């Protein structure tokens, strides 16, 4: 003789016999597939790894910052302020909005030396206001970047957000916002090396996707706030310090 009742997800069977009463637990729902459990465990490991990495990024950035000498500290703290002043001088010279000039500078920055970057931006703005053509511009960067800078001048976005939309690239977009004074920083291969305490060539630095870039920017921002700095000031100070420590150009 037996009877059965359901409790939760178990079917509890009672089997009576002269000698004993047996209780058998039988699942009546399906078992969770093993691959789902494996994926769930992997997601948890990834979260733990990500949390550990974020703490390491912050610690490594602070470690480099604390090794900065007075000259490096001053250089890093003032670099973007000076860059903004340079942009303002070009803006005033050619009677163009400041955010437009900042966008032109940022667009012409890839593979360019800073002094030449400013000269290229000044030349392009001059050619534009004098009614010249984009083909008259010979910046030391890619043709696509030249065209992007010219497009900013032609379209004249109303604000920096419009400029960033045209730039449409993480590093040059962030660079423009740093020059404008927004609390963000540029994440390049050097910034990655500093945050990972890993000296390697730029060719060896892994691809920096959207998620990693966001995590690194958050780490620089946190480190900056710890010492009363913006994210871009912290990044600038640690870069010149890292350059001295490891003899990189």
Q: Count Cα atoms within 13 angstroms, Cβ side, for 180.
A: 23
Pick from 14-23, 141-150, 228-237: least confident: 14-23
pLDDT above 90 for 32: no
- Give me the percent of the chain exceeding a pLDDT of 90: 76
Which one is predicted more confidently, 31 or 209? 209
Which one is predicted more confidently, 35 or 66? 66
pLDDT tens for 17-28 read 444 444 444 444
Domain assignments of the chain as residue spans, ordered by start: 2-31, 53-246
Query: How does the average pLDDT of the chain come out, rounded?
Result: 87
pLDDT above 50 for 80: yes
SS3 sequence of the chain: CEEEEEECCEEEEEEECCCCEEEEEEECCCCCCHHHHHHHHHHHHHHHHHHHHHHHHHHHHHHHHCCCCHHHHHHHHHHHHHHHHHHHHHHHHHCCCHHHHHHHHHHCCCCCCHHHHHHHHHHHHHHHHCCCCHHHCCCCCCHHHHHHHHHHHHHCCCCHHHHHHHHCCHHHHHHHHHHHCCCCCCCCHHHHHHHHCCCCCHHHCCCCCHHHHHHHHHHHHHHHHHCCCCHHHHHHHHHHHHHHHHCCC
Residue 155's Cβ-count burial label (10 Å; 0-12, 13-18, 19+) is middle
pLDDT tens for 190-216 read 999 999 999 998 899 999 999 999 999
pLDDT above 70 for 16: no
Q: Which residue has the tokens 């593979």?
A: 111
Mean pLDDT of 230-240: 98
Q: For residue 43, what pLDDT is reported?
A: 57
Pick from 9-18, 33-42, 106-115: least confident: 9-18
Mean pLDDT of 41-51: 52
């Amino acid at each position: 003789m037996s009877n059965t009742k359901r409790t939760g997800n178990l079917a509890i069977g009672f089997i009576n016999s002269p000698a004993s009463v047996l209780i058998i637990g039988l699942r009546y729902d399906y078992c969770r597939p093993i691959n789902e459990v494996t994926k769930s465990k992997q997601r948890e490991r990834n979260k733990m790894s990500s949390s550990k990495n974020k703490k390491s990024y912050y610690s490594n950035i602070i470690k480099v910052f604390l090794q900065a000498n007075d000259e490096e500290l001053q250089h890093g703290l003032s670099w973007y302020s000076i860059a903004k002043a340079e942009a303002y001088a070009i803006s005033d010279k050619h009677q163009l909005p400041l955010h437009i000039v900042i966008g032109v500078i940022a667009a012409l920055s890839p593979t360019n030396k800073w002094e030449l970057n400013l000269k290229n931006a000044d030349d392009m703005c001059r050619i534009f206001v004098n009614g010249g053509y984009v083909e008259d511009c010979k910046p030391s960067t890619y043709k696509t970047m030249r065209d992007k800078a010219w497009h900013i001048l032609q379209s004249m976005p109303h604000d920096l957000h419009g400029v960033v939309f045209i730039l449409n690239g993480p590093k040059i977009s962030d660079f423009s916002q740093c020059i404008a004074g927004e609390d963000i920083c540029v994440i390049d291969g050097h910034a990655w090396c500093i945050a990972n305490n890993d000296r390697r060539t730029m060719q060896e630095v892994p691809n920096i996707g959207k998620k990693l870039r966001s995590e690194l920017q958050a780490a620089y921002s946190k480190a900056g706030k710890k010492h009363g700095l913006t994210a871009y000031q912290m990044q600038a100070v640690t870069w010149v310090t890292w350059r001295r420590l490891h003899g990189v150009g």
